[in-house]
Amino acid sequence: MNATLRQFRDFFVSLRLTVVLLALSIVLIFAATIAQVDIGVLGVQQRYFRTFFVLWKIGEVPVPVFPGGYFLGGLLFCNLIAAHLYRFKMTWRKTGIFLTHLGLILLLVGELLSGLLQDDSNMRLEEGETKNYSESYQYYELAITDTTSPDYDDVVVIPEKLLAKGDVIQHPKLPFRVVPKAYFTNVDLQRRTDAPNAPPSPATTGFGPNFIATPAPFDYKPDALNVPAAYIELAGAEGPIGTWLTTYLPPQFMTLPPQTFSYGGRSWKIALRPERSYKPFAVTLLKFSHDIYPGTDIPKNFSSRVKITTPDGRDDREVLIYMNNPLRYAGLTFFQASFDPNNDKATILQVVRNPGWRLPYVACVMMAVGLLVQFGIHLIGFFRKRRATAVPA
Amino acid sequence: MKKFLPLLTLVLALGYVGAVLVPPHNTGAFDLVGFGRLPVLVNGRIKPLDTVARTSLLIMQGRQAVSDPTLPEPMVASPTEWLADVLFAPAKADDYPTFRVSSAQSPELVELMGLTEEQTKISYKDASARVMAVADFLPRTRTRFSFNQLAPKLAELDKQYQLAEPVDAAKRTPFQREVLHLHESLVLYQRLQHSLVPPGEDGFLADLLNFQKQLPQGIDALRAKQENRPHDEALEKQMIEIGNQFMTLDRYAYVRAVPPAPDAKDQTAWSTTGAALLEAYGTGQVDPTALVYAALAQTWRQHQPEQFNHLVEESRKQLEKRFASQLAKSDFETKFNAAEPFYRSTVLYAFAFFVAIFSWLKWPDVLGRCAFYLVLVAFLTATAGIATRMWLEGRPPVTNLYSSALFVGWGAAGLCLILEQIYRNGIGSAAAGVVGFLTLLIAHHLSLSGDTLEMMRAVLDTNLWLATHVVIVVSGYAATFLSGFLALIYIFRGLFTRSLDKATADTLARMVYGIVCFATLCSLIGTILGGIWADQSWGRFWGWDPKENGALIIVIWNAIILHARWGGMVKQRGLMCLAVFGNIVTSWSWFGVNMLGIGLHSYGFMDEAFAWLVAFVVSQLAIIGLANLPLEKWRSFKAVVPRAAAPVAVR
């Protein structure tokens, strides 16, 4: 083996590298924890952990200032595997260490998988309501619905990404072009009657002219309310039909009137809404219970009794979902996440798809057993030695 | 004599702790002990009035005694007596100095409340006390004031409160924080006064009896008025007036003293006396519990102890029929309050620490044994205290920050007892003494925010995970702290004394290593279990939440220590420095993350603690700096290190 290659190998298998990487990860985690005050958990996940480098903007140029989570995690992973392959000896004394590190590898893989594959959304249901879709926490979509037929709706949805890009969209199902004039991730909504001197709205029709939407910075705080808004112009072959202000507020805050119009002899509806993901089954909320301790506002428990039905009738069952007792169904997990403070008949379920959810459980058992074996061997050795030295004394 | 010293220490320590088993007794003619044991519902938990009195005083003024620095005796014999005055004789209570307004914390607040120098200055009558005050052994300014002293400026306080309240908790100035605290204390005080009977209504019992007599006609009159029929207008007006009084009581009452009716659906829903009295309009019956409290108020004010005691006894008998198990708990809680096991444990830990340190200088065997016994008794006392809390709450040991402090001290002391049993060198006892003392001191300061037996929010309400994840993680904190304090002992003994010989140094290194292994095990398993709990309740195993990050940093730090040692990157001294840095890491995870005021499971904001945290971190860094002094400066090693002896120098 030539010297460079050996150096390379020694670098990757060294314990020194392990210690340096671990120390760097402490710095990263600490900095990320502090940064959460300003940019929230989601911001931190994106900018510190699910990235190769932590970037700081100096002027307008992003400069990498510190290795990110993928970088450190990846190197640690290589270090771990390399060290074990290099030093691997199957002896009883090493089983503990081996098992612990195997568990750690599994944990890291599990985290990577859920980072890449996990999908969170929520489902708000009022008692008696049935839904076959869940809604995204983060992303929105523009839905243009042809409501002419009394029997069905014909919907075209445009993801928020395209709205932000601003390119003109032409779709075979729409007899008009969709021209996104402006898209904001967060606005302050105000009634025009409250600020009569404000400049005229870019919107020409719908409720838009009655509102003022002032762009605001996106708020990363965990309980912050961000109100997305888009000005959308629709234009037919003969010219513009109108410009709408589309926006979305969670129902517990305010329900905006639907915006409808007629064009080409058909009836249409335009709305901005949380991105939906449809399920091959429907969930009905039968009963939501929410208790507090008497004389306080401390919640004691929440639970939702729901019914799951599939169109083919294969499944039709009732389930009780409550704190720490989620429903796992069709690769999804339904959690009792929250409630609507203004409506005691509404539940908010969190819907999670995470194919790797079992890995941490396995990893936990492996690492626990591994450490117990390892430290157990140490402890027995220690007592044996003491007994041996104590006898002659 | 010397031979019997350990035994004597054990007997004395047991006697000191055993003294608390003597039940509390009344100092006057009134059965205040019995009164203090009456159960009420506050913040969702049934607790004795004794607890209400103690926690209210702690919130308002940071201590349980009601006293004036110029008076030789406290102004009331017990917190319960103070509460009885607040509930039944508000005019008297308004003169007790029970509100903390300290110029040390916020001189602006003293100014705002219009407290003149005459009011704040303490003038001792006794000449020796005056000398003591000049020498700063006695306080020179008052820090506690009565409601009457503060009353003239309540409107100003309210204005400042309105300004301070909307400000983000993390961004408030000391003045704003003190304004909020005083405002909350005053609200609590006034709510206490409205808890059982309307304050200042001396004839309330007579009013109620009269109300009871006229109730049938009164209800008729009210009904007639509703249906626009002719009725007794004076009676109708009287009914409305007293009803308004009941409504005020119901709106402001702090405690819920009336048990639910035997046929009520929710047997945990106790109600206020006001709400119970309002029921009379529907049922035609005046609630007996409300009547009893009105009678208690009258007998208290008119100083009729026999009647008072009889009423206490009777209402207890009534409650005994339906709430025997709740009464058993609230009786025990009263005893627990009076026994103050954690206070006694704190004292014993402090003694143990000094005795253990002294044992390194003189009589190592005898004094070492004494220290061990002191730690043992302190540990058993704390164990009894924690066990009582668990029984009262029906929960695993750690449910909030306060109980985590208790548990960290308990776990560390337990490990120390094992170490001491193995090594018998006083090190375990000294470490137990200092960690036990400090954690109980922290716990005491955390208890100033109110009742430490809180109801659990729904998210956290699972005994399985509280019993596993939380307990294991907190054990990890305890072990990491313990390894850090053992390292401190190594550094101090090595640097400043000649007592750290090679054998002791090696033993300490082995102890630190063993405890770090234990800490790694606990913090790793605890952290992963936390992830699994999060997966069970929120659907994500790991979310980079501050509390999770804090726990993870501890795991990584312990892993660093182990790998650095296995890889030969550090020797003995390096190991000690890393272990001391573990103190910083753990204190950050335990308290620092709570100060960020964000995250799904942060316990609450504590701004004053922040300064202490910074001081602690700086002190630990300074000690690490000291430990890196060259070995010639270490008193223990000076003699050993031969000049230019390289191999020893790397230890």
CB-CB neighbors (< 8 A) of B535 in chain A: 357, 360
CB-CB neighbors (< 8 A) of B537 in chain A: 323-324, 326, 335
CB-CB neighbors (< 8 A) of A32 in chain B: 544, 549
- For B331, residues 6+ apart whose C-beta sits below 8 A from its C-beta are B37, B48
Q: Running DSSP on this structure, what letter comes out for residue A178?
A: E
DSSP H stretches of helix in B253-362:
273-278, 280-283, 288-301, 305-322, 324-339, 341-359
A32 min Cα distance to partner chain B (Å): 9
Tell whether the model's pLDDT for residue B646 goes beyond 60.
no
Whether A120 and B539 lie within 8 Å, measured CB to CB: yes
CB-CB neighbors (< 8 A) of B170 in chain A: 37
Residue B537 or residue B258, greater confidence: B258
- Characterize the bridge pairing of strands A327-329 and A211-215: unpaired
Chain A within 8 Å of B60 (Cβ-Cβ)? no
B182-200 in b/e form (b: 16+ CB < 10 A) is bbebbebbbebbbbbbbbe
CA B56, distance to chain mean position in Å, is 12
Average pLDDT, chain B: 87
pLDDT band at residue A1 using 50, 70 and 90 as cut-offs: low
B366 min Cα distance to partner chain A (Å): 21
Q: For chain A, what is the radius of gyration of the CA atoms?
A: 28
The pLDDT score that the predictor gives to residue A305 is 92
CB-CB neighbors (< 8 A) of B518 in chain A: 375
Tokens 């409601």, located at residue = B147
A164 min Cα distance to partner chain B (Å): 28
Whether B256 and A294 lie within 8 Å, measured CB to CB: yes
Between the CA atoms of B361, B366, B372 and B373, what dihedral angle is there, to the nearest 10 degrees?
Answer: -140
B162 min Cα distance to partner chain A (Å): 22
Q: Closest CB to A360: pick one of B531, B538, B545.
A: B531
A283 min Cα distance to partner chain B (Å): 18
| Residues linked to residue A157 through DSSP beta bridges, in sequence order | A143
pLDDT band at residue B463 using 50, 70 and 90 as cut-offs: low
Whether B535 and A337 lie within 8 Å, measured CB to CB: no
Mean pLDDT of B228-238: 85
Tokens 């007006």, located at residue = B237
Whether A30 and B549 lie within 8 Å, measured CB to CB: yes
The nearest alpha carbon in chain B to A333 belongs to B539
Q: How far apart are CA B503 and CA B112, in angstroms?
A: 62
Residue A290 has phi, psi (to 5 degrees) of -145, 110
Helices B364-393 and B324-339: crossing angle in degrees, nearest 10, is 150
Q: Nearest to residue A274, comparing CAs of A163, A180, A124, A136?
A: A136
Mean pLDDT of B616-624: 94
The nearest alpha carbon in chain B to A302 belongs to B458
Whether A33 and B540 lie within 8 Å, measured CB to CB: no
Q: What are the distances in angstroms from CA A108 to CA A24, A73, A76, A80, A330? A: 17, 8, 10, 11, 25
Q: How do residues A19-55 score in pLDDT, each as one tens digit?
A: 999 999 999 999 998 888 777 777 888 889 888 999 8
Whether B462 and A323 lie within 8 Å, measured CB to CB: yes
Q: How do residues A157-177 score in pLDDT, each as one tens digit?
A: 999 888 888 888 888 888 999
Interface probe, candidates B415, B517, B540, B581, chain A, greatest A C-beta count within 10 A:
B540
Q: How far apart are CA A227 and CA A4, in angstroms?
A: 57
Residues 529-588 of B with CB under 8 A from A: 529, 531-533, 535-546, 549-550, 552-553, 556-557, 559-560, 563-564, 566-567, 569, 585, 588
The pLDDT score that the predictor gives to residue B1 is 67
Q: Model ipTM?
A: 0.83
Instruction: Report yes or no: B456 and B399 within 8 Å, Cβ to Cβ.
Output: yes
Whether B539 and A299 lie within 8 Å, measured CB to CB: no
* Cβ-based burial of B49 (10 A; exposed 0-12, middle 13-18, buried ≥19): buried
CB-CB neighbors (< 8 A) of A41 in chain B: 543-545
Tell whether the model's pLDDT for residue A376 goes beyond 60.
yes
pLDDT band at residue B563 using 50, 70 and 90 as cut-offs: very high
The secondary element (H helix, E strand) that includes residue A33 is helix A15-44
pLDDT band at residue A336 using 50, 70 and 90 as cut-offs: confident
Average pLDDT, chain A: 86
Tell whether the model's pLDDT for residue B369 goes beyond 70.
yes
The pLDDT score that the predictor gives to residue B600 is 36
Q: Nearest to residue B435, comparing CAs of B398, B505, B382?
A: B382
The pLDDT score that the predictor gives to residue B576 is 95
**How many interchain CB pairs under 8 A, A with B?**
169
Whether A361 and B532 lie within 8 Å, measured CB to CB: yes
B147 min Cα distance to partner chain A (Å): 26
Q: How far apart are CA B193 and CA B85, in angstroms?
A: 9
Whether B564 and A19 lie within 8 Å, measured CB to CB: yes
Instruction: Report yes or no: A228 and A216 within 8 Å, Cβ to Cβ.
Output: no
Mean pLDDT of B263-291: 88
Lowest mean pLDDT among A241-245, B136-140, B543-547: B136-140
Whether B269 and A294 lie within 8 Å, measured CB to CB: yes
B240 min Cα distance to partner chain A (Å): 25
Residues 464-493 of B with CB under 8 A from A: 465
Q: Which structure tokens are listed for B46?
A: 């049934």
- For A62, residues 6+ apart whose C-beta sits below 8 A from its C-beta are A55, A56
CB-CB neighbors (< 8 A) of B461 in chain A: 300-301, 323
Q: Closest CB to B524: pick one of A15, A371, A378.
A: A371
A334 min Cα distance to partner chain B (Å): 8
Q: How far apart are CA B651 and CA B641, in angstroms?
A: 11
Tell whether the model's pLDDT for residue B649 goes beyond 80.
no
Tell whether the model's pLDDT for residue B265 goes beyond 70.
yes
Whether A324 and B518 lie within 8 Å, measured CB to CB: no
The pLDDT score that the predictor gives to residue B593 is 76
Whether A301 and B461 lie within 8 Å, measured CB to CB: yes
Q: How far apart are CA A15 and CA B616, in angstroms?
A: 31
Whether A300 and B559 lie within 8 Å, measured CB to CB: no
* Cβ-based burial of B611 (10 A; exposed 0-12, middle 13-18, buried ≥19): exposed
Whether B563 and A19 lie within 8 Å, measured CB to CB: yes
Mean pLDDT of B600-617: 64
Tell whether the model's pLDDT for residue B290 goes beyond 80.
yes
